[in-house]
Chains A and B, each alone.
Chain A
Amino acid sequence: MDRSILVPTRKSRTEMLSFIEATINGILMGGLYGFIAVSLSLIFGVAKIVNFAHGAFLMVAMFLVYWILVLLKIDPYVSAVLAAVFLFFFGYFFQNVFIEPILRREKETAPLTVILLTSGLMLVLENVALLLFGADYRMVKTSYTGKVWDIGGLLIVQPRLIGFILSLFLIFLTEIYLRKTNLGRAIRATSQDREAARLMGIDDYKVYKVVFGIGSTMLGFAASFLVPFYFIHPAIGELFVLKSFVIVVLGGLGSISGAFLAGIIVGLIESLGAQFINSAMVESLIFIIFIACLVVRPTGLLGKQRE
């Protein structure tokens, strides 16, 4: 399963150039990983909900964007807003119907229940998609698919760069929202101390709903950034969810910049690693680093220190 974009090769390409290129493309892809991880970090960090279906939500959004493009000929960057809105309601629905009742049953609930519930949801979403859309790998062709910018001999894949920049922008917006608005402050308060926030009159269930909605919305955007150059497949959620959790943990819980940075690091490792070993082994490399990290420094690279 080769997921790396085919960059057109030139004959007289120096090793150095291709190394730098891999670095840049790794960072760009990593930025998108980071963006997806940030959406997970919000939900995981604030609401303490382990949503294993996070990747499946992304998959749903990607198919939505895909079909809008194929059937309605609307460009993914345009339909991004539509996807984001749809995902907001999609996420809101799931949170309301499935997750909140369990959270409210607080006395009996082991945190594992939510993990298992969302695992079940993931299985259902993935396999319904498999049934409806089949197991083919799809790729789209837009005006800029496969197009590259030549910057001083370095080939930068266009959609990746655009996606990176837009992701950065959206994360910036989110940070502002969290710091400046009332709801944003309520969210930060809840993530730091649920009890204290409640005592201050914050309805934490409402916060969870909003956070879930925001996280899902980000996925909607992420989907439209990915579709122009990534493949679309029902099982793609699995790929992303594990990677996203790895990134969130590496970046440290509760840290948005940490998650983004860790995403870039993972993107870098993938891209540079692929130069030396085959792509499947690169995946394991990431998991091995993940496990090593957890053992040595459970609070992540940039997370809040505990003890």
Chain B
Amino acid sequence: MTFFEIKDLQKNFGGLVALRDLNMTVKETEIVGLIGPNGAGKTTLFNVITGVYRPRHGEILFKDRNIVGLRPDRICHLGIARTFQIVMPFHTLSVLDNTKVAALCRTKSQQKATQSAKEILRFLGLEEKVHIPAAHLTLAQKKRLEMARALATEPQLLLLDETLAGLNATETEGMIETVRKIRVERGVSILAVEHVMRAVMKISDRVVVLDQGQKIADGPPQEVVRDPEVIKAYLGDEYAHA
């Protein structure tokens, strides 16, 4: 069974080609880092995968099923969840309610949803904050909440969009550990857009590099980081042949 595969994906915005000839896979319980210079199309890719945008053409296979054209809420039910680059908590709701409403994706019972939500919040270290309004959390806590919310939908593939942006050193370490825990303890595959290279190196099984909408590298972190094409994309020609 194909767990997750993108085939020949292309996404246009008017005359601008945002994604082109994109082919990649994610295997079960794999952690794939997605990197590339700004404007490379990483968040656009997430939006296409989750059904927010429709691609010009191409297929996205998830558990043998083509999910192109499905509504975002359907895709969530099928087992793909995401976090957002700029955190989007439900600001009038409490931390618990934020997570609970996501848990209701899998159960109709409010009781079960609350239990499930509490368990996830404990897993993410937010159990002290359950009744606090989401708006009052720090950025790091909001990012954890965003993750909790995504996890509450019991996904098999989790798309993380720059979870480490804006975090200090301690918070970053904590988050890296958490991502690792998610794969190990919950068996979730992860596709993570990240700019913090250290983290990408540390945690990814494999790294995919995008530049101007195209994949220019795909392999283990140590190889990718030495790939001249990758260096050129980030730093320009001079450094590629240093």
List residues of chain A with CB under 8 Å of any chain B CB: 305-307
Nearest-neighbour CB distance to chain A for B134, whole angstroms, equals 14
**Does B4 reach chain A (CB closer than 8 Å)?**
no
- In the assembled complex, the Cα of A166 lies from the Cα of B14 at a distance in Å of 36
Residues of A within 8 Å of B13, CB to CB, are: 305-307
Residues of A within 8 Å of B53, CB to CB, are: 307
6 pairs of A and B residues whose beta carbons are closest in the complex = A305-B14, A307-B13, A307-B53, A305-B13, A306-B13, A307-B14
- In the assembled complex, the Cα of A306 lies from the Cα of B14 at a distance in Å of 7
Number of interface residues of B (CB under 8 A): 3
Residues of B within 8 Å of A307, CB to CB, are: 13-14, 53
Nearest-neighbour CB distance to chain B for A245, whole angstroms, equals 25
Nearest-neighbour CB distance to chain A for B141, whole angstroms, equals 17
Residues of B within 8 Å of A305, CB to CB, are: 13-14
- In the assembled complex, the Cα of A306 lies from the Cα of B13 at a distance in Å of 7
Cβ-closest chain B residue relative to A306: B13
- In the assembled complex, the Cα of A85 lies from the Cα of B159 at a distance in Å of 55
- In the assembled complex, the Cα of A305 lies from the Cα of B13 at a distance in Å of 8
How many A-B contacts if CB must be within 8 Å? 7
Cβ-closest chain A residue relative to B12: A307
Nearest-neighbour CB distance to chain B for A233, whole angstroms, equals 42
7 contacts between A and B (CB under 8 A): A305-B13, A305-B14, A306-B13, A306-B14, A307-B13, A307-B14, A307-B53
- In the assembled complex, the Cα of A305 lies from the Cα of B15 at a distance in Å of 9
Residues of A within 8 Å of B14, CB to CB, are: 305-307
Residues of B within 8 Å of A306, CB to CB, are: 13-14
- In the assembled complex, the Cα of A148 lies from the Cα of B149 at a distance in Å of 69
- In the assembled complex, the Cα of A306 lies from the Cα of B53 at a distance in Å of 11
Cβ-closest chain B residue relative to A304: B14
Cβ-closest chain A residue relative to B14: A305
Cβ-closest chain A residue relative to B135: A107
Nearest-neighbour CB distance to chain A for B136, whole angstroms, equals 12
Cβ-closest chain B residue relative to A307: B13
> Residue-by-residue, is B39-57 near A (CB-CB < 8 Å gives 1, otherwise 0)?
0000000000000010000
Cβ-closest chain A residue relative to B15: A305
- In the assembled complex, the Cα of A81 lies from the Cα of B14 at a distance in Å of 43
- In the assembled complex, the Cα of A306 lies from the Cα of B44 at a distance in Å of 13
> Residue-by-residue, is B13-54 near A (CB-CB < 8 Å gives 1, otherwise 0)?
110000000000000000000000000000000000000010
Cβ-closest chain B residue relative to A305: B14
> Residue-by-residue, is B53-80 near A (CB-CB < 8 Å gives 1, otherwise 0)?
1000000000000000000000000000
- In the assembled complex, the Cα of A231 lies from the Cα of B13 at a distance in Å of 46
- In the assembled complex, the Cα of A307 lies from the Cα of B11 at a distance in Å of 10
- In the assembled complex, the Cα of A307 lies from the Cα of B53 at a distance in Å of 8
- In the assembled complex, the Cα of A305 lies from the Cα of B14 at a distance in Å of 6
Cβ-closest chain A residue relative to B16: A305
- In the assembled complex, the Cα of A307 lies from the Cα of B19 at a distance in Å of 13
- In the assembled complex, the Cα of A35 lies from the Cα of B14 at a distance in Å of 29
- In the assembled complex, the Cα of A307 lies from the Cα of B13 at a distance in Å of 5
Nearest-neighbour CB distance to chain B for A156, whole angstroms, equals 40
Nearest-neighbour CB distance to chain B for A25, whole angstroms, equals 37
In the complex, chain B residues 98-122 whose Cβ is within 8 Å of any chain A Cβ: none
Cβ-closest chain B residue relative to A107: B135
- In the assembled complex, the Cα of A305 lies from the Cα of B16 at a distance in Å of 11
Cβ-closest chain A residue relative to B11: A307
- In the assembled complex, the Cα of A307 lies from the Cα of B15 at a distance in Å of 10
- In the assembled complex, the Cα of A207 lies from the Cα of B200 at a distance in Å of 42
Nearest-neighbour CB distance to chain B for A273, whole angstroms, equals 33
- In the assembled complex, the Cα of A53 lies from the Cα of B193 at a distance in Å of 45
- In the assembled complex, the Cα of A146 lies from the Cα of B13 at a distance in Å of 51
Nearest-neighbour CB distance to chain B for A12, whole angstroms, equals 53
Nearest-neighbour CB distance to chain A for B47, whole angstroms, equals 9
- In the assembled complex, the Cα of A141 lies from the Cα of B13 at a distance in Å of 54
Nearest-neighbour CB distance to chain A for B48, whole angstroms, equals 11
Nearest-neighbour CB distance to chain A for B183, whole angstroms, equals 33
- In the assembled complex, the Cα of A306 lies from the Cα of B15 at a distance in Å of 10
Cβ-closest chain A residue relative to B53: A307
Nearest-neighbour CB distance to chain A for B56, whole angstroms, equals 11
Nearest-neighbour CB distance to chain B for A299, whole angstroms, equals 10
Nearest-neighbour CB distance to chain B for A56, whole angstroms, equals 33
